[in-house]
Amino acid sequence: MTQQSRGGGVVDRDDATSRVAAAFDAIASIDDPAIFIRVADREMALDSLDPDLPLAGLTFAVKNNIDVAGFDTTAGCPSYAFRPDRSAPVVQRLLQAGATCLGVTNLDQFATGLVGTRSPYGVPRNAVDPRLAPGGSSSGSAVAVARGFVDFALGTDTAGSGRVPAAQNRIVGIKPTRGLLSMGGVVPAVRSLDCVSVFARTVSLASTAIDTCAAYDADDPWSRHRGVVPSTRPTLVVGIPAVVDLASPLDAAAWSASVAALSTLDHVVVVEIDIDPLVEAGELLYGGPWVAERYASVGKFLETDPADADPTVSGIIRAALRHSAVDAYEASYRLAHLARRASRIWTTADVLMVPTTPGVATLEEVAADPIGRNNELGRYTNCVNLLDQCAIALPGCDRSDGWPFGVSLLGPAWAEPALVGLAARLHD
């Protein structure tokens, strides 16, 4: 007796329990204590499993800045922890669909970072090579998926936290249009930009998780009803940067190979696009006053000098006080100008493909330059939330040394269907 899962596969109803039990067995033998902050109770999870629900047998993990009933929400800082009364709406919708939450995962503290090394809970080991940083801030969620401990995982994304870890671990990460998924029950980083994101090993499963989570939330002031899907041409026009800034010749070769693979797809035309307004907009995120929103969220807590505060994170957030209201308005004017220039891209191209990051980051590089290396990783990701775009990160063609190289598909708000369709073809 089987049922068709919304992930596109067939789940044997009688096998759902054994699949979840096997996932718990795998986690019990885990050799990396920095992935999960806490694992769910096995017996309670198995007892609550309903094999007749559409996602029964699928397992997921949740970044620990998203509320899950029965778990402390730490945001990567033990002294900040609190016990929520209920799960965040996105988590609750997955549970109601039958998926099993296996635990909560590590992150760059207060979701501040793209490297995955800023946590008192340790550094999850990169699934491709332990010399590489896991990427952040959704480090534990990405590694849990990449190592096969869960089928998919929830992260959050403000500057690229749902995409950079996907690139570093050779998996798929979807950053949906802002407001498509409720931000209720999520510790904010930059409240006006934050999104819940999803990691999976396939585009289909990541898309299924997004569709399951998506619902308008009247209690979330940032929630939006799903907008009109932008129309596309019969032949999909995919823009690529006219000029790319990559970390090494190995990354440049991987990018060229990824573009060549894109060009082989039927009904796809590749054109070069000037993406300078995207890059310039992205530079505002860390170089501008949006960091003041991080202070609004947790700045007063950090001013108490908690012993377990990550020094890099604390320094970034507490420095936000140097920005004035005038700075904020001037940056918003600059962003509006860049957004208008960026919007013209969609008159030429339906979708953009860009490198997810200029290259991989090693733990040694991050230790030597924690701020600079972090900012470099966000070169092609920082702009997306600022410009109200959606994005899918997926593996590109690997570098010749075997290290991963990721690409991202970008589109205007509500363009998820076009991105998912192209990403699935490219990932195959």
**How does residue 12 score in pLDDT terms, banded at 50, 70 and 90?**
low
Chain-wide mean pLDDT for the chain? 95
> Is 11's pLDDT higher than 70?
no
For residue 49, the tally of other CB atoms under 10 A from its CB is 18
User: Do the beta carbons of residue 357 and residue 134 sit within 8 Å?
Assistant: no
For residue 200, how far is the Cα from the chain centroid?
A: 10
* pLDDT of residue 249 exceeding 50: yes
pLDDT at 6 over 70: no
Domain enclosing residue 425, as ranges = 1-428
Q: What does the DSSP 8-state code read for residue 229?
A: P
Is residue 73 predicted with pLDDT exceeding 80?
yes
- CATH number where 248 lies: 3.90.1300.10
- In this model, does residue 2 exceed pLDDT 60? no
> Which structure tokens are listed for 334?
């600059």
The Cα–Cα gap between 147 and 151 comes to: 10
Model confidence band, residue 8 (pLDDT cutoffs 50, 70, 90): very low
* Percentage, residues of the chain above pLDDT 70: 97
pTM here? Answer: 0.96
Active-site option among 63, 119, 207, 408: 63
Q: Could you tell me the strand order of the sheet in which 236-241 lies?
A: 36-39, 100-105, 59-63, 152-157, 195-200, 172-175, 389-395, 406-412, 351-355, 236-241, 268-273
Average pLDDT over residues 263-274: 97
Q: Which H helix or E strand runs over 376?
A: helix 370-377
* Calpha distance 370→360 (Å, rounded): 14
Q: pLDDT tens, 363-401?
A: 999 999 999 999 999 999 999 999 999 999 999 999 999
Q: Among the options 5, 137, 138, 141, which is catalytic?
A: 137
Which residues, in sequence order, are bridge partners of residue 3? 11
Specify which residues 406 forms β-bridges with. 395
Q: Is 137 a catalytic site residue? A: yes
pLDDT value at residue 231: 87
3-state secondary structure (DSSP) of residue 289: coil
Question: Which pLDDT band holds residue 233 (cuts at 50, 70, 90)?
Answer: confident
Instruction: Give kind and range of the element (H or E) at residue 2.
Output: strand 2-4
DSSP-H helix ranges across 177-275 = 203-213, 249-263
How does DSSP classify residue 117?
Answer: -
Give CA torsion, residues 370, 374, 376, 381, to 10 deg.
180
Which two tokens mark 391? 């994005």
Is the confidence at residue 119, as pLDDT, over 80? yes
In the block, residue with structure tokens 């600059």: 334
Please, which pLDDT band fits residue 232 given cuts at 50, 70 and 90?
confident
The C-alpha atoms of residue 223 and residue 183 are separated, in whole angstroms, by: 7
Q: Which residues are CB-neighbours of 83 under 8 A, at least 6 positions away?
A: 71, 72, 73
Give the model's confidence band at 287: pLDDT under 50 very low, under 70 low, under 90 confident, else very high: confident
Residue 221 φ then ψ, to 5°: -65, -15
Residue 13 banded pLDDT, cuts 50, 70, 90: low
Give dist(CA 288, CA 50) in Å, integer: 48
Pairing outcome for strands 2-4 and 10-12:
antiparallel
C-alpha to C-alpha distance for 98 and 364, rounded to whole angstroms: 41
Q: Report d(CA 152, CA 141) in Å as an integer.
A: 8
Q: How far apart are CA 364 and CA 133, in angstroms?
A: 9
What is the Cβ-side half-sphere exposure of residue 58, based on CA atoms within 13 angstroms?
32
Reported as a pLDDT band with limits 50, 70 and 90, residue 338 is very high
Burial class (CB in 10 A: 0-12, 13-18, 19+), 94: buried
Distance linking the first and last C-alpha atoms of the chain: 29
pLDDT > 90? residue 38: yes
Neighbours of 14 (CB within 10 A): 11
pLDDT, tens digit, 9 for 90 and up, residues 196-213 = 999 999 999 999 999 999
Say how many domains are in the chain. Answer: 1
Report the alpha-carbon distance of residue 351 to residue 419 in Å, rounded. Answer: 7
With a cut of 90, say whether residue 258 has pLDDT above it.
yes
Model confidence pLDDT, tens digit, residues 290-337? 999 999 999 999 999 999 999 999 999 999 999 999 999 999 999 999
Q: Helix, strand or coil for residue 280?
A: helix
**Is 175 one of the annotated active-site residues of the chain?**
no
Return the amino acid letter for 299.
G
Q: What CA–CA distance (Å, rounded) separates 165 from 377? A: 10
**CB neighbour burial string for 256-284, b if at least 16 within 10 angstroms, e if fewer:** ebbbeebeeeeebebeebebebbbbbbbb
pLDDT above 90: residue 428: no
- Residue of 161, 207, 258, 297 marked active site: 161
